Amino acid sequence: MGVATDKKRVVAICGSGGVGKTTLCEDILFKTKKITRKGSTDKGNTTMDFDSEEIDRKISLQLAVGYTEWKKHFIYLIDTPGYHNFIADALCGIKASDAAVMLIDIKDGPEAQNERLLDEIRKENKPAIFFLNGIDKEDINFQNTIQSIKDSLTPKAFLLQLPILKDAKVVGYVDIIQKKAFSFEDNKEMELPAEIADELEERYMELVEEVSTYDDELMEKYLEGEELDKDTVVKTLKEAVKSGGFYPVILGSGLKGYGTEQLLDEIVDLLPSPENMFEEPAGLVFKTYNDPQMGKISLVRVYSGSLKADTSYYNVNKDQEERLGTINLMLGKSLSKVEEATTGDIFAVAKLKITQTGDTIANKGSEVKCEFVKMPLPYISAAIYGASKGDEEKIGAAISKIIEADPSLSFTRNDETGEFILTGMGKLHLETVVSRLKKKYGVEAQLKTPKVAYKETIKGKTSSHGRYKKQTGGHGQFGDCVIEIEPLPRGKGFEFEDLIVGGAIPKQFIPSVEKGIKNAMEQGFLAGYPMIDIKIKLVDGKYHPVDSSDLAFQMAGSIAFKEGVAKCKPVLLEPIVEMEVYVPDEVMGDVIGDLNSRRGRVLGMEPYEDKKGYQRIRALVPEAEILEYAPSLRSLTAGRGFFKYQFSTYEEVPPQIAEKIIEESKQEEDKK
């Protein structure tokens, strides 16, 4: 592309949902003349939100890439979704960037999503600037917001600007280091208000004190009371920011266009340029768009060297060759052809055959592999049904294309219930998939609460006789067997023991009896659920040399089992899952209370070593009680809690609940 690496910046624009990230990107592109008009999310005409689903919902659902130029620097902007449901793309955007600009609403302050994203930024060892958006709003409590950032995000957040108020409205800002005032409207210097002088000096000294901790010589001068050179302060500030130990805070409004130029200045001055990660060419596919109209488009971040158009490379993950055709810079959905991309560049390439999100492209024989994002734990599952048989057949193929663009989704079949299960990050996430299926693939689908894979078993033992006798015009049907039924320990499944002696039942018909019993077990006794943990002993029987058959002994076995089970105290079983719930210390009691209300048994709790101020709660909970647990946990923890679970065992359903399940099952059967 002809731009020196040290003149490039790759920045993820991130933050919680609805805070104005796309609007800020739009203002940046407009101010730098990359677009001729400034769109809005309300009108659905912004550069970065180009997907039809985003336009309809007026929120970002996927990351988008744009680029611009500022003061002889080439800046890539990765606009990321803010809502938790679509966090996977936000994480992918952070992975592909070298730094982040995190938006925080100046009125609402930081939210749970800011914490989650900052955790990822730190994990990736990347610097960040905090942009307090909405400075034009009325009744803002600026000091409260700053303190909230320090308390909930990082104490290393420090202001570079102070707001100037007039009639309770912000009209400008003071540059704390330069000690100069500027108007937000025209960005021209204005008179420094006298009433701000004391706070300015206090903030300046606070800033200098913090910055000096990153340089021994500067610290020594500060402690000795020497006047510190501003250039030295700025130089050390840059080093502190790039090290990830200092988070500058600046003010603005993407909607009004306030502070955009200052943000661009800080991106150029404070954030790092790309560095060669390897000694040979390598790029990471960090996003895939899959659209019936656009086709498959892959976004690649070049981490080292040069990748050229119309050239064959090597997919390290798949151990196969992949040819890059035309490569393009991407501005929203607009493509601009380029011949070559070098370190720090992001390009789009269409119709890759084997390459998927997370794959590394390099030279043939290369062992270079770019580390990719670990997808977040899914929160919610739903059964997905087609509106018609034809739709059901198309669902799998269409969803596979959607998953290629969104690897945080999963699509599986529950062999126990026969349902197809769609799993994702939240209800909105799954609803968006259904909407995409209809709009883009012409497939009608609906979501339902997944069925619980209940089982049935017995608590008693008995002996039972089954006879099947049927006489028609020719050969009849005859089978006769005596079985003993008893329970097995939980998890042992099914055992069949042949105790026939003296040929009471010929050997070829023994498997027939077993097959008939198994078929009866699949149909259940109480509510139609499969029966488990049962032992059968085949102890006696009779046969007819002409009329006995495979079918007759299957029927005899089934009859004996059904009649015997009724005498063995049949009960309903439910799946129990072992959960790990991660929550902030202050809401641990509420979460435990909620788990108890779901018939959960808490096994223990301990501090969560990966996140300070969090507890890990372990509990056994009936699966039926957590099918819609995700929204409840988010509500209890203000969006900060998360969980995972796995199947543990089956346990008996309490009688009053079992009665309800059995009744519902009978009603369902009557409808058929």
CA pair distance 279, 273, nearest whole angstrom: 17
CA pair distance 181, 175, nearest whole angstrom: 6
**Best CATH choice for the domain 8-270 from the list 3.30.70.100, 3.40.50.1970, 3.40.50.300, 3.40.50.1820:** 3.40.50.300
Q: Which residues pair with 132 in a beta bridge?
A: 104, 251
Assigned CATH for 574-657: 3.30.70.240
At 473 the pLDDT is 65
68 — pLDDT class (breaks 50, 70, 90): very high
Tokens representing 70 are 């500022």
CA pair distance 381, 450, nearest whole angstrom: 7
* Cβ-Cβ contacts under 8 Å for 12 (sequence gap 6 or more): 78, 80, 90, 93, 94, 96, 97, 99, 100, 101
Assigned CATH for 455-568: 3.30.230.10
CA 40 from chain centre, in angstroms, equals 27
> Was domain 282-362 assigned CATH 2.40.30.10?
yes
Across 174-186, average pLDDT: 92
CA pair distance 30, 45, nearest whole angstrom: 13
**Angle at CA of residue 78, ends 318 and 148, nearest 5°:** 120
Burial zone of 202 (CB within 10 Å; 0-12 exposed, 13-18 middle, 19+ buried): exposed
At 345 the pLDDT is 98
CA pair distance 235, 250, nearest whole angstrom: 18
pLDDT digits (tens, 9 = 90+) for 324-333: 999 999 999 9
Tokens representing 181 are 């005032």
pLDDT digits (tens, 9 = 90+) for 300-327: 999 999 999 999 999 999 999 999 999 9
Sequence letter at residue 477: Q
Going from N- to C-terminal start, the domains of the chain cover 8-270, 282-362, 380-448, 455-568, 574-657
CA 458 from chain centre, in angstroms, equals 41
Assigned CATH for 380-448: 3.30.70.870
Q: What is the pTM of this model?
A: 0.88
pLDDT digits (tens, 9 = 90+) for 221-276: 878 877 777 888 888 999 999 988 899 999 999 999 999 999 999 999 999 999 99
Assess whether the region 380-448 and the region 574-657 belong to the same CATH fold: yes
Sequence letter at residue 430: L
Burial zone of 534 (CB within 10 Å; 0-12 exposed, 13-18 middle, 19+ buried): buried
At 392 the pLDDT is 79
pLDDT digits (tens, 9 = 90+) for 398-452: 999 999 999 999 999 998 888 999 999 989 999 999 999 999 899 999 999 999 9
